[in-house]
Amino acid sequence: MEHNTLQGIIFDLDGTLLDSTGMWKQVDHKLMAYYGKEVTPDLSERVQRMSIEEFSQFFVTEFQLPATPEQIAKQVADMVEEEYCHLLPLKPHVPEFLDWLDQQGMVYGVATATYGELAQAALKRLGLWERVQFLLTEQDAGAPKTQPDIFRLGAQKLHLGKRQIAVAEDSLYALQTAKAAGFFTVGVYDPESAAVWPEICATATVHIRDLLELKPMLRGV
């Protein structure tokens, strides 16, 4: 393959390491129900690419909610706090795969679009916090994953060049961003992204349904 010196991985969190995308699909509905608003069929798709700040501003403006964007962001964080701190599980075989990466001497970190404090709480609860080299949020990068800033910052944290790093994501738009920026990309299957799975397969350098499937692929690059 073109990238033949992979030494690190930048993992997405929700839908890649953490089984949480189904929960996020419900947040839009709960927020709209709280304010007595109807949910449009394409709502989840429209907000998927947004940062927390964009998401909050969108809801205030689009639905004329009687709240500030900052209040909406706090309300959503409160809605999902219990899930991250106590309930959300890892996706299958995550610890086993990280054990294997450690054995190979590969370094890795997490780049997420979610709230940093909640992502950290989940990683600590699930025993991953001490294992990852970094946790980066879109707020840290100053841009959403529609732009490559967060992946470039992750590369700096790993002290590696982009051609030495794989970006593992379940989101089509994030894969498109990382691919355009020159990273090796790994499309990770998540049931909530099933509708765009064919596009993910066509976009990513490689695609997998389980992280353990990545082991022979990394051996061969």
* pLDDT number for residue 2: 44
Residue 150 CA to residue 156 CA, distance in Å, equals 10
CB-based burial label for 78 (10 Å; 0-12, 13-18, 19+): exposed
Pure H helices in 11-148: 21-34, 43-47, 52-62, 69-82, 94-104, 116-125, 138-141
Taking the alpha carbons of 191, 147, 90, 209 in that order, is the dihedral positive or negative?
positive
* pLDDT number for residue 4: 54
* pLDDT number for residue 221: 55
Q: Which residue has the tokens 């419900």?
A: 26
* pLDDT number for residue 47: 82
* pLDDT number for residue 22: 86
Torsion of CA 172, 174, 177, 179, to 10 degrees: -70
**Cross-strand pairs, 188:** 208
CA angle 197, 94, 146 (to 5 degrees): 45
Phi, psi of 11 (to 5 degrees): -95, 135
pLDDT along the chain (221 residues), means of 10: 75 97 85 88 79 90 93 92 96 97 96 96 98 97 96 98 96 97 97 94 97 86 55
Amino acid, res. 90: L
Residue 113 CA to residue 51 CA, distance in Å, equals 6
Residue 16 CA to residue 189 CA, distance in Å, equals 8
Domains in the chain, start-ordered, CATH in brackets? Answer: 8-19+90-219 (3.40.50.1000), 21-87 (1.10.150)
User: Model's pTM, two decimal places?
Assistant: 0.92
Tokens of 128: 């991953």
Let me know: does 87 contact 117? Beta carbons within 8 Å.
no
